[in-house]
Amino acid sequence: MSTTALPRHHNGGYNAEETNAWRNQTRVFLQPIAAPSILGLFGFAGATFMVAANMAGWFGTPTSGLYLFPFAAMFGGLAQFIAGMWSYRARDGIATAMHGMWGSFWLAYGILWLLTAVKVITLPAGEFPELGYWFLVLAVITAFGAAAAAFENLGIFSVLATLAVGAAFTAIFYLTGTSGWKTAGGWVLLASSWLATYTAAAMMLEGAAGKVILPLGHLNKRSNIPGRTEHIPLEFELGEPGVRHGQ
């Protein structure tokens, strides 16, 4: 692909002559995909909400994991892991790491409870250091993900920051057996799931409407004002050749 650097107008756009120059000097092979984080964040939000609500005491018992793990493994695990792999294709390092890591965690969580359901293992009722270290690792890596997201997107940053804190609180609970940390971790993880739902919805609505509906706090774009167009597409008038947009 060969390109030339073109000056941009004060409004951030290109005029027709400049756009034609791009078209004449650029060869593009297109494989358009939807934003993978829409699937990843919705999958994360659903699984985290169900498990965190149980942790916070909203419903169920300590054995509710026997009924929640299929949903958590498929919705939060498989769906999110797939989103992580497509994020790799979209060259989004943060989404690749976070969805891939948390998708793997939810799959492992499902396997853990599956082994419990078939009575291969018995989970401790209180202190559980092994699982505590699971969450400790997740908290540290997620904190780095939040730090990276702070350079790009306040929506993703808010999801990852609360997720890191919630994972840390949950780690303390499993390491010490103190029930108060479990409740606190559940509430913080609930907040993360709500923020993830908002962020995924904002991305989905922007993709469908072609303009901002719910602001996400992008730090490297022209605006975050509802009704404004965030992107300046460089494309043929009828869209991508050979690709039909939509379902």
| Residue predicted with more confidence, 32 or 134 | 134
The DSSP code sequence of 71-139 is HIIIIIIIHHHHHHHHHHHTT-HHHHHHHHHHHHHHHHHHHHHHHHHTTS----SS--HHHHHHHHHHH
**Over the stretch 124-183, which tens digit does the pLDDT of each residue have?**
888 999 999 999 999 999 999 999 999 988 999 999 999 999 999 999 999 999 999 999
- Cβ atoms within 10 Å of 116's Cβ, excluding its own: 16
What are 153's strand-pairing partners? Answer: 218
User: What pLDDT does residue 3 have?
Assistant: 42
**Integer CA distances (angstroms), 120 to 40, 70, 123, 131, in order:** 31, 17, 10, 17
206 pLDDT above the threshold of 60: yes
In which element (H, E) is residue 206 found?
A: helix 179-209
The lowest-confidence range among 124-128, 163-167, 229-233, 241-245 is: 241-245
Over the stretch 2-17, which tens digit does the pLDDT of each residue have?
344 444 444 455 567 7
Tell me the three state secondary structure of residue 239: coil
Range scoring the smallest mean pLDDT among 24-33, 81-90, 133-142, 178-187: 24-33
CB 112: neighbour CB atoms within 10 A?
18
139 residue type, one letter: A
pLDDT at 100 over 90: yes
Contact predicate 57/183, CB 8 Å: yes
pLDDT of amino acid 208: 86
Of 28-32, 161-165, 191-195, the one with minimum mean pLDDT is 28-32
pLDDT in tens, 56-74: 999 998 889 899 999 999 9
Domain coordinates in residue numbering, the chain:
1-30, 36-209
DSSP tag of 241: T
Confidence of residue 33 (pLDDT cuts 50, 70, 90): confident
Q: Provide the residue type at 66 as one letter.
A: L
Neighbours of 85 (CB within 10 A): 13
Mean pLDDT, rounded, of the chain: 85
Name which residue leads in pLDDT, 106 or 1: 106
